Amino acid sequence: VILAHYNFCPLGSSDSPTSASQVAGITESTGSIIEVLSKIDSEGVSANHTSHATSTATSGFAGAIGQKLPPFSYAYTELEAIMYALGVGASIKDPKDLKFVYEGSSDFSCLPTFGVIIGQKSLMGGGLAEIPGLSINFAKVLHGEQYLELYKPLPRAGKLKCEAIVADVLDKGSGVVIIMDVYSYSEKELICHNQFSLFLVGSGGFGGKRTSDKVKVAVAIPNRPPDAVLTDTTSLNQAALYRLSGDWNPLHIDPNFASLAGFDKPILHGLCTFGFSARRILQQFADNDVSRFKAIKARFAKPVYPGQTLQTEMWKEGNRIHFQTKVQETGDIVISNAYVDLAPTSDTSSKTPSEGGKLQSTLVFEEIGRRLKDVGPEVVKKVNAVFEWHITKGGNIGAKWTIDLKSGSGKVYQGPAKGAADTTIILSDEDFMEVVLGKLDPQKAFFSGRLKARGNIMLSQKLQMILKDYAKL
């Protein structure tokens, strides 16, 4: 549950009538969170016939549909990806989490749900207030549901251009649901799609439609015991850590603000709980393979306090993992009617490059093999070693190459070394090309973890020196 705060006046001024009215609005809206959200099912709630429905309101909301917010860009590095992973519970206590918290991991990856951080900037900027036809009291905005779809794994770092649009506006009687779609692109390639369902308490009853075919519908869990249950005890600092990913709402950090909003203490971000559960599903059913994560849908039902234990209950039905999340100490369901869609294993394996296929490095190794014919004997005499290269793509090994500078006049072939390799070098296809083009220093790549070496590491330095002498290689 989030309460938008970008239009709030400073709360330090107790004699400000504006602040006082806003605080009252916050208290009123948060006090009705459970009551309101519990009424909303996939078909919507019945209309509130006591609410005034006017043609002006109807036309106003209708006019907002299809309105676009100003496009924006979101740039991030490995730092932001790691900060997010730590914020949703990834830890070095689990060796399999290292790929999410250490940029030097050969398969370093962004958690799929980092995609919501990219999309939420459209809401945090207050752009909704500028949409014609939307008269919004941000003190009464609740985050009801969230959908995220990934079209390919998020890059480890990058700059994405985002476009946000009001997809639809629904009349739920006790409130209005605004459906916000945010599309994020790398150049012209669509990377991910967020759908935020925002509930405006008390704005309904204007005679608008109750359902929409544009909504990604929440789905009830199966009527049987879960197939897997995993728990996470959140830290007392969980909200303080998660907010560093960009949600600065004081409701999650300031005890005074939380008290004014009707809570005993600051509550955890709903999207933080969302991230915890998604991470557990990825771990349990996809072995942390981010390329298999296709989509997630969740409904926020009740708040969580930092320090409470999250219990994620999961049901596998084909490639869809249904789940709900509870607070273990109270039994309260805090995320309901949720699911994650995974790509079949066969789909992801078919996308893994075949040995040497579709890799830029292939051309380089083939060219080295051709040019060794001229200088091979002299290089063999100076190096006298066998190097095996593991070239990765998308975190998976895309090709193995061997440069044999120990026998004959030297040779290069695709595949693992036929005998024992003296040195094995592991790096991505992209980083390999950066090294070849002189844009990435191998030593810096090694110390940053982007290049890994096993065996006699000193020989790799010798190889680098020889290749400089024979720049044609």
Options 171, 232, 247, 289, the catalytic residue: 247
Tokens 């950066």 locate to 434
Options 143, 252, 269, 322, the catalytic residue: 252
405 is written with which tokens?
């500078």
CA distance linking residue 88 with residue 234, whole number of Å: 9
Of 246, 250, 251, the residue nearest 275 (C-alpha)? 246
User: What SS3 class is residue 460?
Assistant: helix
Of 285, 46, 270, the residue nearest 175 (C-alpha)? 46
CA distance linking residue 152 with residue 133, whole number of Å: 35
473 is written with which tokens?
């290689």
The secondary structure of residue 89, as a DSSP letter, is: T
Name, in order, each residue with C-beta under 8 angstroms of 96's C-beta and a sequence gap of 6 or more: 283, 287, 288
Strands (E), 151-307: 158-171, 175-186, 189-201, 228-233, 293-300
Is 267 a catalytic site residue?
Answer: yes
Of 380, 466, 460, 369, the residue nearest 412 (C-alpha)? 369
Is 252 a catalytic site residue?
Answer: yes
Options 25, 115, 127, 270, the catalytic residue: 270
Is 429 a catalytic site residue?
Answer: no
Q: How many other CB atoms sit within 10 Å of the CB of residue 179?
A: 21
Is 247 a catalytic site residue?
Answer: yes
Q: Are strands 423-428 and 385-393 parallel, antiparallel or unpaired?
A: parallel
Options 267, 333, 391, 403, the catalytic residue: 267
Show which residues are catalytic. 247, 252, 267, 270
